[in-house]
Structure 1
Amino acid sequence: MQSDITLQRLSAEDPNAAVVAGWIFEAWGHLHPGLTLEQAIDRTKAKCGQAGVPSIFVATQGAVPVATASLVADDMSIRHELTPWLASVFVLPKWRGQGIASALVRRVEAEATASGFDRFYLYTPDQQALYRQLGWQDVERLEYRGENVTVMSRQMEL
């Protein structure tokens, strides 16, 4: 990852919260029919916790946001028993391939373990290889809201 990229916790008051919400809405809003951008912004701001679950992290170059990842209690309505979740890992296209997503995933992992969780989850339709490289393991493949996805988990040492 470039040395001029910093990772920080996102707060609800941060103007970048609306930017991050827009990215998430554009990338995954189709999974939530009827959700408006305004509702997505409100949901994102509600997930800007001060520590633990929920938390949202943003990678910035200077003051400009370039990527995000979240730690949330529930990211899959058909798997409520699984918690917490790595969610909404997103890197702007021109910043991809530079290790930013991996750094954000590691930051979320650190947040989860600091909060006492030794196992957590994610689902992805197409980024299984990245997560496997980072130590995640496949749990199951299923159809979720019209997409074929892989649920993955990561076992951490506390």
Structure 2
Amino acid sequence: MQSDITLQRLSADDPNVVLVSGWTFEAWGHLHPGLTQEQAIQHLKAECGQGGVPSIFVAIQGETPVGTASLIADDMSIRREFTPWLASVFVVPEWRGQGIASALVRRIEVEAAESGIERFYLYTPDQQALYRRLGWQDEESLEYRGENVTVMSRQLGL
């Protein structure tokens, strides 16, 4: 990752909330039929915790946000027994391939470990290789809201 990129906790009053919400709404809004952009902004603000679950981090290059990732309690309605979740890992297309997603995932892992979380989850339709490289393991493959996804888990503290 470029050395001039920092990872910062997002707060509900941060001016970047609207931008970050726009990224996640554009990328995954189709998984939540009926969700409006305004509702997505309010939902994101509610996930801006002070530490642990929930937390959202943003990768910043200079003054420019270039990526985000979240630690949330629930990301898959059909797997409520799985909690918490790594969610909404997103890097602006022109910044991809520079290790930013990996750095964001690692930051969420630190946040989880510092909160006493021993195991947490994610689901992805197409980034299994990235997460496997970072130590995540496949749990199951299934269809979720019209997409074929892999549910993965990460055991911390081993």
Shift of residue 62, structure 1, vs aligned partner: 1.3
1:64-143 aligned at under 5 Å gives the runs: 64-143=64-143
TM-score with structure 1 setting the length: 0.99
CA distance in 2, matches of 1:114, 1:31: 30
* Number of the residue aligned with 1:32: 32
CA distance in 2, matches of 1:36, 1:63: 28
Kindly provide the amino acid, as one letter, of the partner of residue 110 in structure 2. A
Identity of aligned residues (%): 80
Count of aligned pairs between the two proteins: 158
* Number of the residue aligned with 1:54: 54
Shift of residue 36, structure 1, vs aligned partner: 0.2
Unpaired runs of at least 5, structure 2 = none
Shift of residue 63, structure 1, vs aligned partner: 1.5
* Number of the residue aligned with 1:152: 152
CA distance in 2, matches of 1:13, 1:63: 16
Kindly provide the amino acid, as one letter, of the partner of residue 24 in structure 2. I
Kindly provide the amino acid, as one letter, of the partner of residue 27 in structure 1. A
Unpaired runs of at least 5, structure 1 = none
CA distance in 2, matches of 1:18, 1:53: 21
Pair 1:8 & 2:8 matched: yes
Shift of residue 77, structure 1, vs aligned partner: 0.3
CA distance in 1, matches of 2:34, 2:134: 34
